[in-house]
Each structure stands twice: as C-alpha cells, then as structure tokens.
C-alpha cells in the first residue's frame, strides 16, 4: 500500500515513538492529522481530503455576506439538513472475497458518454463567490469531460464562457416573461455552444433566506459600512474581486436598465425573470428548443408522467438545496418514487458531498448527480485549482467505495443496498 521507505518512518506523536512496521501502521499514521509530513510536502489531497475541507477554508476566506449567500437555505434550514440526514440513511452491505476489480466510473446521459457520473449545477452570481468562478468551473468540467451548467443569473454571460465550457454544457433558464426576450436568450445560449436547456421550476417567487439577510446582502448589493468591514477583513477575496470586474448578472445586460437608461423602469432582473411558468410555457419551450430539455426542481412523482408527455428529455430532482422552501422532502427520499414513475433519465442534487453520496443516488435510481455549493466552496478555498481538486476527491471516493462494495459498475449497486 505504502512504499517501504514511508512505512519505516518514525512516528513522533505515537506513544513509543516506534518505527512503523507494517502497511496498517503506515495507514493509521498517515491518515492521522498529526503526521510528520511538512507543510511544504503536503499536496492538496493531504490538506483537503474531503469536500468538507475546502468548505471550511471557503468560510474563512469569504466575507460573511458572501458566505451566507453561498451557504444559506431558507427558514430554519430544515430542508438543507434533511438532504444530508436522508443521504446518511442510505446504507449498503459491503462485499468480501470478491477478488480484484477495476470499477468502471463512466456512465451515459442523454446519449452522451461521461467518464464520471457527476457535473456542476447552475449557481447564480458565481463571480460574487469568487471572481471568474464560472470560467474556472466551465474549464474544469470541459477538461474532465463532465457537464457544466451556466445560470441565467450568473455573473458571466453565455458569450463570456463560450469556448470554455465543453461540448456538453447546459444553459439554465429562469423563464423570461417576454417571448421576444426568451427567443433572444435561447438564440444566444445556442450560439455560445450550450447544447442542453435546463428549465428551473422551483423558484415561483423570491425566497426569504433569512440567514442571507442577516449577513447583510441586499438586492442590488450595497456597500454599507457593515459590508465594507466584512470585505476589509477578507483581503484575499477583496483583492481578487477588485482585480476583476464587479460581479453583476451579465446575461441580462442587454435587457436591463443598468445597461440602457432608455428602457422602462421594470426592466430589471426581478421583473424580467420572476414568472412562475405553467405547463403551456413548458410546451412552448419544448417547441422552441431543439436540443435536450431538462426540467429542474421536480420533487413529486405525479409530475413525472406529464413531463414525459410534454416531451421533456430528463428530470432533475432538486429542492434547490433548501433555499426556496423549508418543508420540502429530501431529494434522495423522493428519488425511488420518481424512478418508479418514469423511464426518463434522472439527475439529482441536494447535499451531495462525497463519492459515496453519488453512489447512494445512483443505487436508488439516479442516472447522474449534480453539485452546486461544493464546486463553489472549492473555487473559493483554492482558486482555479479548486474544481479540479474536487473532481479528484470525488473520483477517489467513488473508486474506493466501489471497491468496498465489490461493484464493477453502477448497475450492481442496487443489489448492495441494505
Ligand atoms: C448560491 C447558489 C445559487 C444558486 N443559483 C441557482 C440558479 O441560478 N439557478 C438554479 O437553477 N439553481 C440555482 N441554485 C441551486 C443549485 O443549482 C443546486 O440545485 C443546489 O445548489 C444543489 O445542492 P448542493 O448545493 O447541496 O449541491 C443555486 C444554489 C446556490 C447554493
């Protein structure tokens, strides 16, 4: 497991200071935090072995209002906690004596092969979290061959990430009221190389998100003394943000008063996009978009057959990480019923924070897993290197747990469920 030279190092923190004599000793020693590896020798993996490590680092590096924007849910945040608690309830029986295996981590979604079964979910104003976040995430996704999704309210426009995001990128749509604006937006997304359209349907109205309000973030953001104080105490974020353009929803620039004074006073994001679409809207969208169409924010199995009939290509099970409604079910909880109700491919997000979580979702019927906050924690903690590190951590965790289960491929996972 470890080369002999490592396994014979002294363990200064062990009670006897004895020489490590076996792989097992080395294993225990090198997985303990008190090991002798110097700070310089540490690679990212030894400092940030799980996704919780960059998360903690991100919290330190971000001003409170930014952290609260990224991390908060709504209400008492019970839905966000439910996502995690329900994932922990999904258990497997590990396998023994299964011999050598080489797990196959690849999968297919909407006719495309992917080397890994996860991708990056859309996050509005990523550039507020860390400047250039959209570009870092899009490039990492393209390099890893996994899908990236750009939000309608991202801080970069589709044209800005054109060429960065790889062939399988999705454009996430908050539905505009105005059909001409919708048509223009779809055309721009298509020309910028976005092949898949993701309609988000779980934001019928603005969310209250009390922790975010307490953190001091306003809409539009204002530089109050409190916010300035938070910024001053986080120089890495402040310098990185000052070096870049101040974040705003650039996709909407052509349609908003912030860009053109001549537009009517209701030409702001809140009015342009805050429609609650209905089934007719979805049907019209289906006609307007020739590529794959995914509906994001589904929690009720009874909606699945109608989505299928309307010509949707895949369903994205999501409760928006608990940011919209605080009494929603955990996504993993509703997954089996939705799986039973439709043959459509299923994507799922909500609290996934390890390769094991992704395996839990796949075992219960998901075709693909998506992550929202974790890739942003990674960028905020580690800059451009963060998302690639996240991909590596998840790959290692997927592999390690497939070995524990003795599974060569994902189709074998349901049989391992407890
Ligand atoms: C800061 C933030 C902004 C988000 N913005 C959007 C958005 O613009 N459009 C959207 O469909 N979902 C948005 N989401 C939801 C994510 O796409 C995704 O559903 C959720 O974050 C997944 O849960 P996870 O963060 O636990 O991985 C946002 C989530 C966060 C944390």
Residue 353: which CATH number?
3.20.20.70
Which tokens sit at 352? Answer: 């996934």
Q: Is 211 in the pocket of ligand 1 (CB under 6 A)?
A: no
Strand order in the sheet with 346-348: 118-120, 368-371, 346-348, 314-317, 293-298, 196-200, 170-173, 149-150
**Percent of the chain with pLDDT strictly greater than 90:** 78
Find out whether the beta carbon of 401 lies less than 6 Å from any atom of ligand 1.
Answer: no
* CB 320 near ligand 1, within 6 Å: yes
Kindly report, residue by residue over 157-185, the tens digit of the pLDDT: 999 999 898 878 999 999 999 999 999 99
Question: What pLDDT score was predicted for residue 368?
Answer: 98
How many structural domains is the chain composed of?
1
Specify which residues 415 forms β-bridges with: none
Ligand 1 pocket member 339 (CB < 6 A): no
Q: Which of 136, 234, 268, 320 is catalytic?
A: 320
371 touches ligand 1 (CB under 6 Å) = yes
Nearest Cα residue to atom 28 of ligand 1: 123
In the block, tokens 């922990």 appear at 88
Determine the residue of 70, 130, 148, 320 to mutate for testing ligand 1's pocket, defined as the one with the most ligand atoms within 8 A of the Cβ atom.
Answer: 320
Q: What was the pLDDT predicted at 40?
A: 38
Instruction: Evaluate: CB of 150 within 6 angstroms of ligand 1.
Output: no
The ligand 1 atom at the shortest distance from the C-alpha of residue 125 is 3
**Collapsing DSSP states into helix, strand and coil, what is residue 80?**
helix
The Å distance, Cα 122 to ligand 1 centre, comes to 6
Mark whether 320 is an active-site residue: yes
Q: Which helix (H) or strand (E) holds 336?
A: helix 331-341
Q: What is the CA radius of gyration of the chain?
A: 23
Q: Which long-range contacts (CB under 8 A, 24 or more apart) does 401-404 make?
A: 401/355, 401/356, 401/359, 402/101, 402/103, 402/105, 402/359, 403/101, 403/103, 404/92, 404/94, 404/95
354 Cα to the center of ligand 1, angstroms: 17
Alpha carbons 139 and 165: distance in angstroms, whole number: 6
pLDDT of residue 267: 62
Q: Look up the domain containing 210 and give its range.
A: 4-255+263-416
375 lines ligand 1 (CB under 6 A): no
Q: How far does residue 139's CA lie from ligand 1's centre (Å)? A: 19
Q: And the tokens for 416?
A: 């391992």
Tell me which residue has its CA closest to atom 16 in ligand 1.
Answer: 372
Angle, alpha carbons 333-335-340 (nearest 5°): 130
CA of 24 to the centre of ligand 1 (A): 41
* pTM, rounded to two decimals: 0.90
Is the CB of residue 124 below 6 angstroms from any atom belonging to ligand 1?
yes
Q: Verify whether ligand 1 is closer than 6 Å to residue 209 (CB atom).
A: no
Is the CB of 212 within 6 Å of ligand 1?
Answer: no
Atom of ligand 1 nearest to the CA of 296: 11
Closest ligand 1 atom to residue 370 Cα is 27
Atom of ligand 1 nearest to the CA of 152: 8
User: How far does the centroid of ligand 1 lie from the alpha carbon of residue 123, in Å?
Assistant: 5
Residues forming beta bridges with residue 170, ordered by sequence position: 149, 196
With a 6 Å cutoff on the Cβ, whether 248 touches ligand 1 is no
Distance 316 CA to ligand 1 centre (A): 12
Identify the segments of the chain with pLDDT beneath 50. 1-41
Atom of ligand 1 nearest to the CA of 320: 19
């Amino acid at each position: 497991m470890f080369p002999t030279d490592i396994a014979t190092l002294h363990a200064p923190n062990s009670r006897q200071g004895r020489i490590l004599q076996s792989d097992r000793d080395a294993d225990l020693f090198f997985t303990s935090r008190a090991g002798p590896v110097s700070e310089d020798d540490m690679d990212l993996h030894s400092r940030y072995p799980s996704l919780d490590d960059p998360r903690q680092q991100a919290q330190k590096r971000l001003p409170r209002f930014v952290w609260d924007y990224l991390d908060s849910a709504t209400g008492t945040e019970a839905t966000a906690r439910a996502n995690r608690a329900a994932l922990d309830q999904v258990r497997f029986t590990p396998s023994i004596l299964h011999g050598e295996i080489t797990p196959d981590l690849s999968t297919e979604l909407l006719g495309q092969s992917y080397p890994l079964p996860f991708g990056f979910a859309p996050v509005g104003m990523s550039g507020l979290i860390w400047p250039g976040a959209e570009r870092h995430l899009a490039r990492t996704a393209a390099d890893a061959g996994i899908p990236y999704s750009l939000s309608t309210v991202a801080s970069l426009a589709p044209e800005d990430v054109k060429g960065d995001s790889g062939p399988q990128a999705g454009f996430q749509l908050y539905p505009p009221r105005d059909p001409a604006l919708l048509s223009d937006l779809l055309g721009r997304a298509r020309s910028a190389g976005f092949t898949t359209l993701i309609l988000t349907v779980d934001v019928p109205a603005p969310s209250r998100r009390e922790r975010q309000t307490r953190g001091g973030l306003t809409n539009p953001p204002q530089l109050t003394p409190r916010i300035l104080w938070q910024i001053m105490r986080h120089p890495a974020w402040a310098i990185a943000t000052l070096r870049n353009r101040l974040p705003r929803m650039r996709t909407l620039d052509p349609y908003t008063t912030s860009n053109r004074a001549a537009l009517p006073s209701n030409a702001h994001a809140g009015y342009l996009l805050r429609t609650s679409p209905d089934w007719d809207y979805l049907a019209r969208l289906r006609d307007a978009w020739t590529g794959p169409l995914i509906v994001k924010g589904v929690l009720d199995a009874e909606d699945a057959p109608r989505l299928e009939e309307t010509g949707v290509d895949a369903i994205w099970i999501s409760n928006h990480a608990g940011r919209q409604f605080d009494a929603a079910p955990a996504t993993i909880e509703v997954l089996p019923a939705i799986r039973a109700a439709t043959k459509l491919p299923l994507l799922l997000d909500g609290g996934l924070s390890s390769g094991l979580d992704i395996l839990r979702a796949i075992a219960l019927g998901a075709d693909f897993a998506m992550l929202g906050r974790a890739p942003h924690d990674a960028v905020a903690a580690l800059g451009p290197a963060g998302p690639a590190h996240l991909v590596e951590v998840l790959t290692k965790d997927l592999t390690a747990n497939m070995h524990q289960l003795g599974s060569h491929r994902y189709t074998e996972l349901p049989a391992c469920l407890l």
